[in-house]
């Protein structure tokens, strides 16, 4: 059985397209570094077609020596050179960057990864053009297992959309959503890695409590989460069915599941997504 999400999410792996456009990253921090690494190792584009700006010279030097890309601190120059501009600064820095760059961005496809900043807010700063894509990646992009949701501005073309998909597929999977759903995306896949880090820590604690060495317990816990997630994605089988298959009558797994039910495990995860979504809405106001 193939479920809906597998139709929405294109398979991870070598992107099916290379990019000839020149890409500038405004902000050369953690997320820009992950994306540049993904683009180059996936051979999506060449180092000469990437420029990253950052005010910190150590960061620029590191990006240059690691990737051989163009670096600098002059945002306007880097924007004028580019076909695509990725705004990869913190949300609180974005207003200053937009007021510096403003209409100089109007010729480019603008992709913002700043959490909570709307397409309209960005477009207003760049002469009203809606050729803006809002992206919400997550931290596993650092190991090319990211999940990115994209919302498209009204002037984004098919080619722009394909290009953005290719960029983010170089660091994981991509789904398109309506912009109004971005807070829910933030509550689920944006904040979700932290929920799972906590789950891995707790599973490992349980293993230690039962006598396993800490390192072994952490490996067992992390690989179990990774394997279960891959099975869900690759089999297309509903997670409840997969759970039923491993819970044999009177066995160990159903005893563990009973404890999870008593602890309100599923309700706690649902409430976590709800709380983070609500907080994202509050912060976006
Ligand atoms: N990391 C994640 O998991 C994640 C997930 C989803 C979305 N995002 C979004 O991705 C964006 C970047 O996050 P990050 O974790 O990569 O942040 P980061 O590591 O702090 O990177 C941002 C970089 O931009 C630099 N910068 C500041 N002002 C600048 C300017 N005027 N021009 C050019 N560069 C400037 C910063 O330098 P200074 O340090 O000197 O300020 C920093 O090196 C954020 O908007 C965040 O919401 C991140």
- Cα(223) to centroid of ligand 1, in Å? 30
Mean pLDDT within 244-268: 98
Q: Is 86 helix (H, G, I), strand (E, B) or coil?
A: strand
Final residue of a structural domain among 123, 158, 183: 183
156-170 confidence digits (pLDDT tens): 999 999 999 999 999
Phi-psi region of 233 (alpha: psi -120 to 50; beta: other; left: phi over 0): alpha
131 shares a domain with 45: yes
pLDDT digit string, tens, across residues 113-159: 999 899 999 999 998 789 999 999 999 999 999 999 999 999 999 99
pLDDT mean over 12-19: 63
Report residue 212 as tokens. Answer: 């396993």
Give distance in angstroms: CA of 199 to centre of ligand 1. 27
Given this model, what pLDDT does residue 12 score? 53
Work out how many domains the chain is built from and give that number: 2
CA 247 to centroid of ligand 1, rounded, Å: 44
Q: Which of 139, 159, 183 is the last residue of a domain?
A: 183
Query: Do 218 and 106 fall within a single domain?
Result: no
CATH of the domain at 86: 3.40.50.720
* Rounded-to-integer distance, Cα 278 and Cα 281, Å: 5
Tell me, using a 6 A CB cutoff, whether residue 26 lines ligand 1.
yes
Counting from 1 in the atom list of ligand 1, the atom nearest the Cα of 97 is 31
Same domain as 267, residue 203: yes
Q: Answer whether residue 1 shows pLDDT above 80.
A: no
Q: Is pLDDT above 50 for 4?
A: no
**Ligand 1 in reach of 139 Cβ (< 6 A):** yes
User: Domain check: are 24 and 132 in the same one?
Assistant: yes
Range of the domain at 216: 192-284
Tens digits of residue pLDDT in 190-205: 999 999 999 999 999 9
Q: Count of CB atoms within 10 A of residue 265's CB?
A: 13
Would you say residue 8 has pLDDT above 70? no
* Pair (171, 197) in one structural domain: no
Residue 198, CB-side half-sphere exposure with 13 Å CA sphere: 8
Alpha carbon 108 to its chain's center: 22
Residue 87 near ligand 1, beta carbon < 6 Å: no
Residue 86 tokens, joined: 């990725």
To test the pocket of ligand 1, the residue of 25, 28, 30, 149 to mutate (highest count of ligand atoms within 8 Å of its CB) is: 30
């Amino acid at each position: 059985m193939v479920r809906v999400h597998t139709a929405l999410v294109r398979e991870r792996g070598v992107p099916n397209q290379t990019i000839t456009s020149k890409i500038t990253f405004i902000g050369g921090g953690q997320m820009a570094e992950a994306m540049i690494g993904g683009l180059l190792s996936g051979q999506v584009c060449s180092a000469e077609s990437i420029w990253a700006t950052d005010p910190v010279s150590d960061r620029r030097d590191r990006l240059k020596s690691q990737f051989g890309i163009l670096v600098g601190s002059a945002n306007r120059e880097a924007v004028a050179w580019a076909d695509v501009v990725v705004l990869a600064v913190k949300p609180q820095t974005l207003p200053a960057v937009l007021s510096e760059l403003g209409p100089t961005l109007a010729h480019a496809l603008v992709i913002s990864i700043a959490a909570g900043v709307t397409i309209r807010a960005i477009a207003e700063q760049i002469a009203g053009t809606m050729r803006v894509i809002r992206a919400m990646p997550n931290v596993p992009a650092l190991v090319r297992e990211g999940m990115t949701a994209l919302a498209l501005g009204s002037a984004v073309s098919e080619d722009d959309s394909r290009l953005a998909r290719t960029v983010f597929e170089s660091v994981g999977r991509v789904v398109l959503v309506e912009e109004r759903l971005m807070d829910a995306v933030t509550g689920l896949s944006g904040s979700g890695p932290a929920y799972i880090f906590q789950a891995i820590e707790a599973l490992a604690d349980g293993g230690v409590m039962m006598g396993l060495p800490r390192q072994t317990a952490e490996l067992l816990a992390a690989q179990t989460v990774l394997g279960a997630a891959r099975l869900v994605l690759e089999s297309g089988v509903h997670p409840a069915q997969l759970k039923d298959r491993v819970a044999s009558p009177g066995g160990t797994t159903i005893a563990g599941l009973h404890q999870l039910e008593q602890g309100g495990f599923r309700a706690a995860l649902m409430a976590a997504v709800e709380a983070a979504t609500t907080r994202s809405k509050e912060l976006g106001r």
